[in-house]
Amino acid sequence: MSDDIRTTIGLRPVINVSGTMTSLGASIVVPQAIQAMEAILPQFVEINDLQRMASKVIARLTGAEAGFVTASCSAGISLAVAGAITGNNLLAIEKLPDATLEKNEVLVQMGHVVSYGAPVDQAIRLAGGKVVLIGQATSTHRFHMENAITEKTAAAVYVVSHHVVDYGLLHLSEFVEIAHAKGVPVIVDAASEYDLRLFLAQGADIALYSGHKFLGGPTSGIVAGKKELVRSAFLQNMGIGRGMKVGKESIYGVMAALEAWEKRDHAGIRERETGYLKLWKETLDGRPGVRALIEPDPTNNPLERLRVVVSPTEAHITAWDLATALSRGDQPVIVRDHEVEHQHFYLDPCNLHPGQEKIVAARLSEELDRARASNEIIATPLENRSRHRFDGILRWPD
**Per residue in 164-187, pLDDT tens?**
888 999 999 999 999 999 999 999
Domains and their CATH numbers in the chain: 29-263 (3.40.640.10), 266-393 (3.90.1150.180)
Cβ-contact 160, 144 below 8 angstroms: no
pLDDT at position 2: 61
Three-class HEC string of 268-318? HHHHHHHHHHHHHHHHHCCCCCEEEEEEECCCCCCCEEEEEEECHHHHCEC
Of 20-24, 64-68, 108-112, the one with minimum mean pLDDT is 20-24
Q: At what angle do helices 248-263 and 31-40 cross, to 10 degrees?
A: 150
Question: Residue 293: its pLDDT value, please?
Answer: 96
Across all residues in the chain, what is the average pLDDT? 93
CA distances from 126 to 75, 77, 97, 111, 319 (A): 10, 10, 6, 20, 37
pLDDT of residue 32 exceeding 90:
yes
pLDDT of 154 reads: 97
R_g over Cα of the chain: 22
Q: Which of 111-120, 126-135, 276-285 has the lowest mean pLDDT?
A: 111-120
Q: What is the pLDDT of residues 58-93, one digit of tens each?
A: 999 999 999 999 999 999 999 999 999 999 999 999
Residue 1 clears pLDDT 60, i.e. is over it: no
| pLDDT exceeds 60 at position 8 | yes
Residue % of the chain over a pLDDT of 90: 75
The 10s digit of each residue's pLDDT in 261-295 is 999 988 999 999 999 999 999 999 999 999 999 99
State the Cα–Cα distance between residues 385 and 287, nearest whole angstrom: 26
pLDDT of 313: 93
Has residue 311 got a pLDDT over 50? yes
pLDDT digits (tens, 9 = 90+) for 367-385: 999 999 988 898 889 888 8
First-to-last alpha carbon distance for the chain, in angstroms, is 27
pLDDT of residue 390: 84
Are residues 208 and 222 in contact, defined by beta-carbon separation less than 8 angstroms? yes
Q: What is the mean pLDDT of residues 89-98?
A: 93
